[in-house]
Structure 1
Amino acid sequence: MSDVEKGVSVSPVAGGDAASKELDGANAAVGSISTTHTATAEGDFLIVEFEKNDPRAPANFSYSKKWSITLISVLFTAIVSASSSDYSFGYDSMIPELQCTQMQATLGLSMFTLGFAVIPLVSSPFSEEVGRKPVYLVSATGFVLSQVMIALAPNIAVVIVGRFLNGAFGSTGAILVGGTIADIWEPAQRGLPMSLYSLIALFVTAGGPIFAGWVDMNRHMQWRWIAWLNGIFGGAYVLLALAITTETRASIILARMAKDKRKETGDERYRSRSELETPGFWTLIWISCTRPLYLLFTEPVVFFFSLWIGFASIGSLFSSVYGFSTGESGSVFTALCIGSLLGCSLNYYQETIYRRKYASRGPEARLYVALGAALLFPVGMYIYAWTAFPHVTWVAPCVGLAVFMCATYVIYQTVFIYLADCYGQWSSSALAGQSLFRNIMGMIFPLFTTQMYNNLSYKWANTLFAIIATIMIPIPWVLFFYGSRIRAKSKISQEITADEAKK
């Protein structure tokens, strides 16, 4: 028996006893295959499916294989996260060399988040139709090339375009990982992988400026080497991904199995269900672009979580108030790293609650710690806003940053794992929808925060953000108590629930 035949369940569609005899003859030729008889108006097809405990099914991958896939995916997240935040710490050397303004340099920061926001509307849903692996590899390669483009840029215009491409290709490292984890881990097992993903995303985002500030201050390196280092790490990821990454989308694997079966037997009736249901190319593009938007604006769960995670701002407070150098200001981000570690530690408590409460609460059992994080989020911002004075030690606002990041970690991790639980196979589209909202806000903020801080002062500008965070405290509480009712009224959630029940 060939590898293609092992563990393949084939459902003949239409044909009755005649089809059964014909199928038996085919089975004798190609090996033992379990079969069931069903009928459909679509015609006579033999539907290829995974057998129970089939090792090729992503959910049945070995524990070591699941962790290898998870870790290599999270590595891409780490590289992209560093690139998202370290760019702005090259301004001091970039602006005089390229003879550009502060606003032009800041536009490079905003263009990164624009690419990060828009491209997942296509790449994430498209990965659900053509497979995760090709999207990962193409995106990683594009990410490396865009870093080279920035490192060699002769003017600020090239940097701005390069930053857009950098965000566009890098968005895969943030959005697709949640879908990959949902592909291979059962809901009860997703806590630790998602926690690791959230930790890396926030820890490295906070850690990027720590090294970038000192690189920029080194007259032999400066801003171009920030891009070169990102490109080098990205190139290393591409090599590892080629060696380790495998397809995790079940429908894609089944389609390949059916194709191999047709090639081996010459019987064109072998099909996967996705092949019979896949729309035309332009319809696929339309679905890829509109599904995340549809989920964002029609699914209250996606919309409210997107609103909750959609803002945060840390200005250049330490250089302005305390006179820190670029390297010293970057080092302050260590407080954010500490906060993300504290948030990660809370995940272990959350996972204990989840296992105990899932039977009675369902996906909402993911939200217990998030209820407290909703309170900590504005508290950290108030501390940051009201302790940043020259006569107050710089440690005080750092404490506020640590509290803020601890809450942000819990929020970030909760959003990803809760949406993955609620939307299953459409989780990448749901995450792309919330990413659009979050990153559009991230694109806008840098363009006006400097003026806002100058006009309102750091105290009142950050107080404004804290007040907005206070207003949003009820969001996880509403979802905790009414999330199941909200999802019960959702057509998409009903379809996903029905599919899970069939599986």
Structure 2
Amino acid sequence: MSSSPYPDKPVSQRTSQATLTNSLPDGCSYGSIPGKDESAAERVIWVDFPPDSRDNPFYFSTKRKVCITMCALIYCWYCSMTASAFAIQSGAMCEDLHCPHLGAEAGIGLYAWGAGVMPLFVAPVSEEFGRRPVYLCALFMLWMFHLMQGLAQNTATALIARFLTGIAGSVGTSVVGGTVADIFTPAHRGLPMMMTGFILYFSTGFGGMIFAFVTTHLGWRWTWWLILITLGACAPLFVFLMPETRGSIILRRRAKKLRQERGLNDGGRYLSHGEMNKVRFLTALKTSMIRPIIFLLTEPIVMFFSLWVALAWSVMYVQIAGLPYMMRTLYGFSTEQVGLVYLTACIGACFGYLGGYAQEFLYRRYAPTKGVEARLYTPMVAGVLFALGCFITGATASADIPWIASAIGQVVVITGVMIIYVTAFTYVSECYGTYASSAMASQSFLRNMVGGGIAFGTTSMFKGMTVRWALILMGGIASLLALVPFVAYYYGPAIRERSPYSRELMRQEREALDSERVQRELRGMDMTGAEDIEGDVYEKERD
């Protein structure tokens, strides 16, 4: 672990490695590190994954990857569903607890802010100390704070519970992306990332619809009782099916085990590269928390994609917080009818998922010549759809125009937003390799802070500007930010070339894939899973 907030130097610059010998465990090789005396180097044995090792997260069995992905998606489901569940039950809650309507909007905004601040701590910590403990702790916290919400007897308790729930829920929009990057090589991340986005948006619509009926017929507290029951039922899945997926953590544990079992009998101390330059816990934690801020302020890719997805997220929060107001004020809808309109998010998520399949086809066709920028074809369309959907929803938001026209605009918005959201995760995760969670934490911070701020003032904005002009304003901003994927497509390689972090991290990940492929070829092993369809374009760049 390094005390610097920046990525470590690549393995090839740390030490010169000797040829693997038969006496060492598979995957281990002799090397050296500077000793206490500058003239003397200490002989060590580097611990890496053997080729095709099932301990390497990239090459977990398909069954194991399915289980891990399922657990991650379940967490995403609850983290997203709770947002629309709160919005739809907020009216009944406010009547019962005698809180002003602003209290409901505050609950949505505080959830977003909790989900925005915590990734600066959680995501880097998961990179340094492991994903599994973060998931298990966050799952327990998520359950406890939903219980607090259900037992709330006053507005203050309900709002504190919402903020704390957002903190626990931050794992669903930060660490989950890092988990996908842990177990899928760049060539295979597209569809898992798309599934993550699909679950986030589909569950938003599903939660709004289901809990509208629950609130009407059982009362608002049953919204939280049902979530508690089902979330508790899913807890064993995380305990038994979610292993550690962070490769550096697994290697660190393997090196520790080899030191205990073999000591210095093999002519050197067993070490993993992640154990070099170990520092104190608090120093490492400070470094880990600084890294996402550095990425956000100094990395143009992170900065502009974060701004783009922040606007998209804001519009989603406007839909979550403002949909009940919009449908009740303009069309006189009941709570149950408003819940049915939340199905627009489900439909938009389905269209967005189809867009993901189209993007995956285009990626596999053009990645050998365009590299990671081949991830940006459907996002260029999605940016236009996003702006168009805002204009349609705003222009038709009038009592004398059938509500279905506005609902169609909302479907277009969610379709575009979902593709944008997934793009921001997938593209950035490839650009920042092993520090994907830190880059995503930067995005999550800006996205949720902006979205939460918008949620606080949604009703005031609708009353002051009218629903129509508020959404048209969003469409105008979206039109400007629609340029982001076009700029990234044409100038992405030049931008990354000027970034020491992205360039080095992509190179490290690609070197690891190259090494795996070479060793498999030498041993006559199956090459499935080790392919690097972007490799041709980067090979040309190196030449």
Normalising to structure 1: TM-score of the pair?
Answer: 0.92
The residue aligned with 2:34 is: 41
Say if 1:206 and 1:336, in contact at 8 Å, map to a contact too: yes
Provide the rounded CA distance (Å) in 2 between the counterparts of 1:79 and 1:367: 29
Structure 1 pair 317/14, CA: closer, same or farther in 2 (3 Å)?
A: closer
Kindly tell me the number of residue pairs found equivalent between the two proteins: 482
Written as runs of structure 1 = structure 2, the 5 A alignment for 1:438-453 is 438-453=447-462
Deviates more, 1:394-403 or 1:468-477: 468-477
Offset at residue 265 of structure 1 (A): 2.5
Does residue 226 (structure 1) correspond to residue 223 (structure 2)? The answer is: yes
SS in 2 for 1:50: coil
Tell me how far apart the structure 2 counterparts of residues 16 and 32 of structure 1 sit (CA, whole Å).
15
Task: Indicate how the Cα distance of structure 1 residues 35 and 412 shifts in structure 2: closer, same or farther if over 3 A, else same.
Answer: closer
- The one-letter code matched in structure 2 to 1:99 is H
Structure 2: which 5+ residue stretches go unaligned?
1-11, 36-41, 513-543
Q: CA deviation at 1:45?
A: 2.6
Residue 500 to residue 375, structure 1, CA distance change in 2 (3 Å): same
1:403 deviates by: 0.8
For 1:92, give the aligned amino acid. Answer: G
**Structure 1 residues 321 and 187: CA distance shift in structure 2, 3 A:** same
Partner of 2:378: 369
User: Counterparts of 1:88 and 1:453 in 2: how far apart (Å)?
Assistant: 16
Match of 2:310 in 1: 310
Could you say if the C-alpha distance between residues 171 and 377 of structure 1 is closer, same or farther in structure 2, counting changes exceeding 3 Å?
same
Does residue 409 of the first structure (1) align with residue 418 of the second (2)? yes
The answer as to whether partners of 1:92 and 1:216 remain within 8 angstroms in 2 is: no
Evaluate the alpha carbon distance shift between residue 322 and residue 131 of structure 1 in structure 2; reply closer, same or farther with a 3 A threshold.
same
- What is the CA distance between 1:408 and its match in structure 2? 0.9
Structure 2 CA distance for aligned equivalents of residues 14 and 356 of structure 1: 37
* Deviating more after overlay: 57-66 vs 272-281: 272-281
Using the TM superposition, name which of 202-211 and 257-266 deviates more.
Answer: 257-266
Describe the shift of the 1:203–1:265 C-alpha distance in structure 2 as closer, same or farther (beyond 3 A). Answer: same
2-structure distance, mates of 1:34, 1:116: 39
Counterpart position of 1:237 = 234
Distance in 1, matches of 2:119 and 2:476, equals 30
- Select which of 251, 256, 260 maps to 2:257: 260
What CA distance in whole angstroms lies between the structure 2 residues aligned with 1:252 and 1:214?
45
Are the counterparts in 2 of residues 72 and 244 from structure 1 also a CA contact under 8 Å?
Answer: yes
Matches within 5 A, 1:146-225: 146-218=145-217, 221-225=218-222
1:109 paired residue number: 108
1:322 equivalent in alignment to 2:331: yes
In 1, Cα distance between equivalents of 2:142 and 2:16: 51
1:500 Cα deviation after fit: 2.5
Q: Offset at 1:493?
A: 1.3
Aligned runs of 1:381-420 on 2, under 5 Å? 381-420=390-429
Structure 1: 5+ residue stretches without partners? 1-10
Alignment of 1:247 with 2:256, yes or no, is no
Residues 282 and 334 of structure 1: is their aligned pair in 2 closer, same or farther, counting only changes over 3 Å?
Answer: same
- Could you say what secondary structure the match of 1:36 adopts? strand
SS in 2 for 1:39: strand
Distance apart, 1:397 and its partner CA: 0.4
Deviations along 1:340-395, one digit per CA (max 9) or x if unpaired, are 10111111111111011101111110000111111111111111111122222111
Letter in 2 for 1:270: Y
Counterpart-to-counterpart distance in 2, 1:278 and 1:403: 50
Return the alpha-carbon distance in structure 1 between the equivalents of residues 33 and 285 of structure 2.
27
User: Is structure 2 residue 471 aligned with structure 1 residue 474?
Assistant: no
**Cα distance in 1, alignment partners of residues 245 and 228 from structure 2:** 26
1:285 equivalent in alignment to 2:285: yes
Contact 1:79–1:233, Cα closer than 8 Å, also in 2: no
Alignment of 1:23-38 (within 5 A): 33=26, 36-38=29-31
Structure 1 228/481 Cα, relative in aligned 2: closer, same or farther at 3 Å? same
Q: Is the 8 A contact 1:123 1:288 kept in 2?
A: no
For residues 398-419 of structure 1, the C-alpha deviation after alignment (integer angstroms, 9 at most, x for no partner) is 1101111111111111111111
TM-superposition CA deviations, 1:23-75 (whole Å, max 9, x none): 99xx87xx755653322205343221111111111111111211211111111
AA in 2 matched with 1:426: Y
- Give 1:317 deviation, angstroms: 1.0
Over the residues paired in the alignment, what is the CA RMSD in angstroms? 2.2
CA distance in 1, matches of 2:28, 2:471: 64
8 Å Cα contact 2:120/2:292 also seen in 1: yes
Q: What is the identity percentage for the equivalent residue pairs of Structure 1 and Structure 2?
A: 36
Q: Given residue 33 of structure 2, which amino acid in structure 1 is its aligned partner?
A: T
Q: Is the 8 A contact 2:263 2:269 kept in 1?
A: no
Name the structure 1 match of 2:69: 70
Query: 1:112–1:163: 8 Å Cα contact kept in structure 2?
Result: yes
Match of 1:423 in 2: 432
User: How many Å separate the matches in 1 of 2:353 and 2:93?
Assistant: 35
Deviations 1:89-111 (A, max 9, x none): 11222112112111123222211
d(CA) in 2 for partners of 1:215 and 1:74?
Answer: 24
1:356 to 365, 369, 394: 365
Tell me if structure 1 keeps the 8 A contact 2:434–2:509: no
Structure 1 residue matching 2:33: 3-state secondary structure: coil
Question: Structure 1 counterpart of 2:197, which letter?
Answer: S
Q: Describe the superposition over 1:204-237 as per-residue Cα deviations: whole angstroms up to 9, x where unpaired.
A: 122211112111112xx32211122222232223
